[in-house]
């Protein structure tokens, strides 16, 4: 998934290289990558008490409700009494804000948007556990007037499906039941909200029902610079999301490889290799966290699915599986590749060739870094697919 500003950025980097040299161009690339990592995305989640706001906030962040230190508190009573930010554990630039229910004493409907500081949010998710109420409609109308996006989410759908199946017995049809629930919600909003869309979601089973469609809608309607920020923070609920994450990370590798090439222009033996290893460790750790394969994320997943951590790790087959990412591990894996060793030997040897040596070393450094990062990204994406497969097979036994 190439960033739409790629051509502009590449042109600026080339200009910087021609004007101020390799060091300055490398710094410009690093600034650009830092900006991508720090794009702020603020998502507001609101609804009446008991609608499932906090549970959705936790599920989106991959955090179990029982994690008292990091989870948004849940309960049948109104547990949200103030506007509360919950940063994503791996991508703190993405924050979900658990808002108090609209229409409460402290947050009356007519002053709600002002009190919650409406302007800071990129979009709103309005949640209801049954029908959307008058206050929900009023909020949507005000958001619409101010030109921001909002999405109606009908929560706890798994409970409704279970109840309907029990009451209807052999006559039960899940597809028809979902259609009826959706249409009932939409009919209640028509005439009050322009072109209402309602997404049916179960926070306990995000891979089911309409959450994948909601995620796709976010991606289509968010500004281009915010799309990757959302994508990389999403939980791995489908193979499609893992593939999209891989593509987004892959699009950045050319910049990292270019930084490696620019570093190789410095005529100091071993310096380029040391810088590359430090960069690779940082980058691969980021890949690991994005795919939810770091220790903390795997522990949360194990808690959510009720399985031992070792069982999740057992399906991962890459050399990175279950290991701390550090320089020694990366060097060990790379040194098992004949192609990488050949490139590194050629890069260091080419430095001593007059005139053409440094350009050759730069080209070889680009190729070795590009290929290595793609290899590690492939490894982790494949492990993420295997963990997802195990996770979905576990959940399917509960449905």
| Average predicted confidence (pLDDT) for the chain | 85
Q: What is the pLDDT of residues 3-12, one digit of tens each?
A: 456 778 888 9
Q: What is the pLDDT of residues 296-347, one digit of tens each?
A: 999 988 887 778 889 989 999 999 998 899 999 998 998 887 566 565 555 5
Position 138 scores a pLDDT of 84
The stretch 349-362 carries a mean pLDDT of: 58
The stretch 168-181 carries a mean pLDDT of: 91
The CB-side HSE value for 23 (13 A sphere, CA atoms) comes to 2
311 or 105, which is more confident?
311
**Nearest CA to 399 among 184, 252, 204?**
204
Query: In the structure, what pLDDT confidence band is assigned to residue 359 with cuts at 50, 70 and 90?
Result: low
Position 377 scores a pLDDT of 97
Handedness of CA 100, 102, 104, 106 (dihedral sign): positive
The number of residues in the chain equals 399
Residue 16 in tokens: 């910087």
Position 397 scores a pLDDT of 43
Position 321 scores a pLDDT of 92
Q: Are 343 and 367 in contact (CB under 8 A)?
A: yes
Question: Minimum mean pLDDT among 182-186, 260-264, 270-274: which range?
Answer: 270-274
Q: 3-state class of 80 per DSSP?
A: coil
Asked whether residue 268 carries a pLDDT value surpassing 90, the answer given is no
The helix or strand, by DSSP H or E, that contains position 158, with its residue range, turns out to be helix 157-168
Neighbours of 370 (CB within 10 A): 17
**Nearest CA to 234 among 226, 75, 307, 284?**
226
Question: Minimum mean pLDDT among 240-244, 320-324, 364-368: which range?
Answer: 364-368
Question: Minimum mean pLDDT among 25-29, 265-269, 360-364, 365-369: which range?
Answer: 265-269
**Integer Cα distance of 229 and 232 in angstroms:** 6
Q: Are 53 and 80 in contact (CB under 8 A)?
A: yes
Q: Are 159 and 51 in contact (CB under 8 A)?
A: no
**Nearest CA to 124 among 110, 109, 104, 144?**
144
CA 304 from centroid of its chain's CA atoms: 18
Beta-sheet strands, E only, within the chain: 41-47, 84-87, 94-98, 123-128, 149-154, 198-200
Position 2 scores a pLDDT of 47
Query: In the structure, what pLDDT confidence band is assigned to residue 250 with cuts at 50, 70 and 90?
Result: very high
Residue 47 in tokens: 């609804």
Asked whether residue 90 carries a pLDDT value surpassing 70, the answer given is yes
DSSP strand pairing (84-87 vs 94-98): antiparallel
Position 287 scores a pLDDT of 97
Question: Minimum mean pLDDT among 66-75, 148-157, 224-233, 382-391: which range?
Answer: 66-75
Q: Are 265 and 363 in contact (CB under 8 A)?
A: no
Query: In the structure, what pLDDT confidence band is assigned to residue 201 with cuts at 50, 70 and 90?
Result: very high
Residue 376 in tokens: 């590690």
In the chain, what are the domains?
6-37+244-396 (no CATH), 41-235 (3.40.50.300)
Q: Helices 271-290 and 327-335 sit at what angle, rounded to 10 degrees? A: 100
**Integer Cα distance of 173 and 188 in angstroms:** 23
The stretch 202-229 carries a mean pLDDT of: 91
Residue 158 in tokens: 């798994």
Asked whether residue 39 carries a pLDDT value surpassing 60, the answer given is yes
The helix or strand, by DSSP H or E, that contains position 25, with its residue range, turns out to be helix 22-37
**Nearest CA to 372 among 314, 287, 268, 297?**
287
């Amino acid at each position: 998934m190439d960033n739409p500003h790629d051509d502009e950025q590449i042109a600026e980097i080339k200009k910087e290289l021609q004007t101020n040299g390799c060091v300055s161009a490398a710094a410009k690339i690093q600034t650009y990558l830092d900006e991508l990592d720090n794009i702020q995305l603020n998502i507001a989640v609101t609804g009446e008490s008991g609608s499932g706001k906090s549970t959705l906030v936790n599920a989106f962040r991959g955090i179990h409700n029982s994690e008292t230190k990091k989870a948004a508190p849940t309960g049948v009573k109104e547990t949200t009494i103030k506007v509360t930010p919950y940063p994503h554990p791996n991508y703190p630039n993405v924050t979900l804000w658990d808002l108090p229910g609209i229409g409460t004493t402290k947050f009356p409907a007519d002053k709600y948007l002002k009190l919650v500081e409406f302007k800071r949010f990129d979009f709103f998710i309005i949640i209801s556990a049954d029908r959307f109420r008058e206050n929900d409609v009023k909020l949507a109308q005000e958001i619409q007037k101010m030109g921001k996006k909002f999405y109606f989410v009908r929560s706890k759908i798994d409970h409704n499906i279970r109840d309907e199946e029990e009451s209807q017995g052999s006559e039960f049809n899940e597809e028809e039941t979902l259609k009826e629930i959706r249409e009932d919600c939409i009919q209640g909003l028509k005439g009050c909200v322009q072109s209402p869309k309602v997404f049916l979601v179960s926070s306990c089973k995000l891979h089911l029902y309409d959450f994948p469609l909601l995620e796709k809608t976010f991606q289509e309607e968010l500004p281009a610079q915010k799309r990757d920020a959302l994508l990389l923070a999403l939980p791995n609920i489908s193979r499609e999301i893992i593939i999209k994450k891989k593509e987004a990370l892959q699009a950045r590798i050319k910049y990292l490889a270019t930084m490696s090439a620019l570093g190789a222009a410095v005529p100091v033996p071993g310096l380029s290799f040391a810088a590359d290893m430090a960069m690779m460790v940082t980058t691969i750790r980021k890949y690991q966290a994005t795919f939810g394969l770091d220790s903390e994320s795997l522990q949360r997943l194990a808690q959510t699915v009720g399985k031992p951590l070792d069982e999740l790790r057992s399906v991962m087959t890459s050399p990175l599986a279950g290991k701390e990412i550090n320089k020694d591990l990366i060097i060990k894996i790379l040194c098992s590749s004949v192609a990488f060793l050949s490139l590194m030997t050629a890069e260091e040897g080419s430095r001593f060739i007059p005139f053409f040596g440094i350009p050759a070393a730069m080209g070889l450094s680009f190729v070795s870094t590009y290929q290595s990062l793609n290899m590690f990204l492939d490894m982790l994406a494949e492990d993420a697919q295997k963990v997802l497969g195990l996770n979905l097979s576990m959940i399917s036994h509960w449905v």
